[in-house]
C-alpha cells in the first residue's frame, strides 16, 4: 500500500503527535525537510532513535538529533568518496598503462576476448564488459574527448576511454585481466596480492556508489567482505567464532581497504579527517553513545590506532 502525500505541516504533526518526536522549532524543522525531504532525513535515519517495541521515538529524542546524524553521514560520505575516488583514479591509470604496454594502443585490443582470461565463469563477465566498451567506442556521443579521438584518429586508446568507465566497469576489467597483468598491477600496492586487490576493488566499488548516490553510509553492511589481513590481527580485532567482528562487511573494512590502497601520507590525512568528524559529532548532544555509534559503523574501539601499524 502506497503512502499518502503529506504537506510539511502534516509531516511535522505526524512526527510530534503520532511518533513522539520533540520539535522545539517547527520553522527550522520545516526548512530542513524542504532541503532534504522527509524520506531522506526521517525514513533514512529514524530507526536508531526509535523504541523497537512501541515504534515511537525514545524519550528525550528531538528533531535536531536526527538532523545531526543526517549531516554527520553526509560529511562522512564526502570524506570517503574523496579518497575512494583517488583509488579509482590510480587503478584506472595502472590498468590502462599496463594493458597498453602489453597489447598496444589500438581499440581492437581491449575489445578482443583473447586479451582477457576468457574461460569458465569469466566468459559471461568479459562478454558483458566488451559489450559496454564497444558501445563507448561505437555509439556514445556524450564525451567530447571520445568523440575527438574517434573523429581525429579513428581510434580510442584505453587511456582515453578509461575516464568514461565506471569504477564498477574497471573492477570487472581488473578481475578478468590475464594473470600476468593482474600480478604486475597488484605489485604497485604494498602487501596486497592480485586476489586480494580484486576483492578490495569489488568491495570498495559498492561503497563508492553508496557515497555518490547519497545513501545512508554509517551503518551500511556489504554482502561481500574483504579478505583477512595481518592488520586485523595486529589491531587485535575481536572475533565472533572464527570471523572478525569488525573490518569485514562494514565501513571499517573500507578504512582497511584504503590503508592498503592509498599512499601512507594520504591515508594519514584521511584518518585524521575521519577522527575529526567523529570528535565533532560526539562533542554534541544527539542521543547516541559513542560506543553504540562505533558499533553501527563497524569500528572497533581502537580504530584510530590503525596508523600505528605496518601493513605487513
Q: Contact, 217 vs 73, CB < 8 A?
A: yes
Considering the domain boundaries, does residue 9 fall inside one?
no
- Asked whether residue 62 falls in the same domain as residue 86, the answer is no
Query: Global pTM?
Result: 0.94
- Asked whether residue 65 falls in the same domain as residue 77, the answer is no
- Asked whether residue 39 falls in the same domain as residue 162, the answer is no
- Asked whether residue 282 falls in the same domain as residue 174, the answer is yes
Tell me the C-alpha distance between 273 and 271, whole Å.
5
Number of domains present in the structure of the chain = 2
pLDDT digits (tens, 9 = 90+) for 159-197: 999 999 999 999 999 999 999 999 999 999 989 999 999
At residue 284, does pLDDT exceed 80?
Answer: no
**So what's the pLDDT on residue 3?**
75
Average pLDDT over every residue of 235-245: 94
- Asked whether residue 141 falls in the same domain as residue 168, the answer is yes
Percent of the chain's residues with pLDDT above 90: 87
At residue 218, does pLDDT exceed 70?
Answer: yes
Percent of the chain's residues with pLDDT above 70: 98
Considering the domain boundaries, does residue 293 fall inside one?
yes
- Asked whether residue 110 falls in the same domain as residue 203, the answer is yes
- Asked whether residue 44 falls in the same domain as residue 90, the answer is no
DSSP H or E segment with residue 29: helix 26-36
Q: What band does 311 get if pLDDT is binned at 50, 70 and 90?
A: confident
Range of the domain at 160: 71-308
CA-to-CA separations, 188 to 159, 254, 277, in angstroms, rounded: 18, 19, 30
Average pLDDT, the chain: 94
- Asked whether residue 273 falls in the same domain as residue 294, the answer is yes
Q: Which of 49, 70, 91 is the last residue of a domain?
A: 70
- Asked whether residue 175 falls in the same domain as residue 202, the answer is yes
Reading the block at residue 114, the C-alpha cell is 583473447
Q: Contact, 75 vs 281, CB < 8 A?
A: no
- Asked whether residue 50 falls in the same domain as residue 145, the answer is no
**So what's the pLDDT on residue 237?**
96
pLDDT digits (tens, 9 = 90+) for 39-76: 999 999 999 999 889 989 999 899 999 999 999 999 99
At residue 131, does pLDDT exceed 80?
Answer: yes
CA-to-CA separations, 33 to 89, 102, 115, 217, in angstroms, rounded: 35, 54, 52, 20
Average pLDDT over every residue of 265-281: 95
Average pLDDT over every residue of 90-112: 98
At residue 1, does pLDDT exceed 60?
Answer: no
Average pLDDT over every residue of 83-96: 98
pLDDT digits (tens, 9 = 90+) for 191-214: 999 999 999 999 999 999 999 999
**So what's the pLDDT on residue 2?**
57
Q: What band does 4 get if pLDDT is binned at 50, 70 and 90?
A: confident
Of 2-11, 77-86, 129-138, 296-305, least confident by mean pLDDT is 2-11
Across the chain, how many H-helices and E-strands are there?
A: 16, 2
Q: What band does 285 get if pLDDT is binned at 50, 70 and 90?
A: low
CA-to-CA separations, 169 to 100, 130, 172, in angstroms, rounded: 17, 10, 5
Q: What band does 140 get if pLDDT is binned at 50, 70 and 90?
A: confident
Amino acid at each position: 500500500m502506497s503512502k499518502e502525500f503529506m504537506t510539511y505541516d502534516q509531516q511535522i504533526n505526524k512526527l510530534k503527535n503520532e511518533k513522539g518526536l520533540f520539535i522545539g522549532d517547527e520553522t527550522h524543522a520545516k526548512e530542513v525537510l524542504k532541503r532534504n525531504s522527509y524520506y531522506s532525513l526521517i525514513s533514512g535515519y529514524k530507526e536508531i532513535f526509535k523504541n523497537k517495541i512501541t515504534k515511537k521515538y525514545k524519550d528525550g529524542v528531538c528533531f535536531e538529533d536526527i538532523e545531526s546524524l543526517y549531516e554527520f553521514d553526509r560529511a562522512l560520505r564526502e570524506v570517503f568518496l574523496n579518497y575512494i575516488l583517488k583509488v579509482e583514479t590510480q587503478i584506472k591509470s595502472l590498468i590502462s598503462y599496463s594493458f597498453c604496454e602489453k597489447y598496444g594502443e589500438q581499440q581492437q585490443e581491449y575489445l578482443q576476448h583473447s586479451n582477457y582470461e576468457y574461460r569458465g565463469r569469466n566468459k559471461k563477465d568479459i562478454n558483458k564488459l566488451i559489450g559496454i566498451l564497444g558501445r563507448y567506442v561505437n555509439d556514445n556521443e556524450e564525451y567530447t574527448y571520445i568523440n575527438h579521438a574517434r573523429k581525429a584518429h579513428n581510434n580510442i586508446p584505453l587511456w582515453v576511454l578509461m575516464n568514461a568507465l565506471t569504477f564498477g566497469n574497471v573492477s570487472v576489467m581488473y578481475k578478468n585481466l590475464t594473470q600476468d597483468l593482474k600480478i604486475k598491477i597488484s605489485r604497485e600496492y604494498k602487501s596486497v596480492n592480485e586476489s586480494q586487490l580484486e576483492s578490495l576493488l569489488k568491495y570498495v566499488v559498492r561503497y563508492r556508489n553508496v557515497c555518490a548516490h547519497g545513501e545512508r553510509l554509517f551503518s551500511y553492511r556489504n554482502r561481500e567482505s574483504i579478505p583477512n589481513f595481518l592488520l586485523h590481527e595486529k589491531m587485535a580485532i575481536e572475533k565472533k567464532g572464527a570471523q572478525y567482528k569488525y573490518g569485514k562487511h562494514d565501513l571499517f573494512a573500507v578504512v582497511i581497504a584504503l590503508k592498503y590502497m592509498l599512499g601512507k601520507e594520504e591515508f594519514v590525512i584521511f584518518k585524521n579527517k575521519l577522527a575529526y568528524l567523529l570528535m565533532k559529532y560526539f562533542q554534541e548532544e544527539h542521543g547516541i553513545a559513542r560506543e553504540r555509534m562505533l558499533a553501527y559503523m563497524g569500528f572497533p574501539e581502537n580504530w584510530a590506532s590503525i596508523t600505528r601499524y605496518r601493513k605487513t
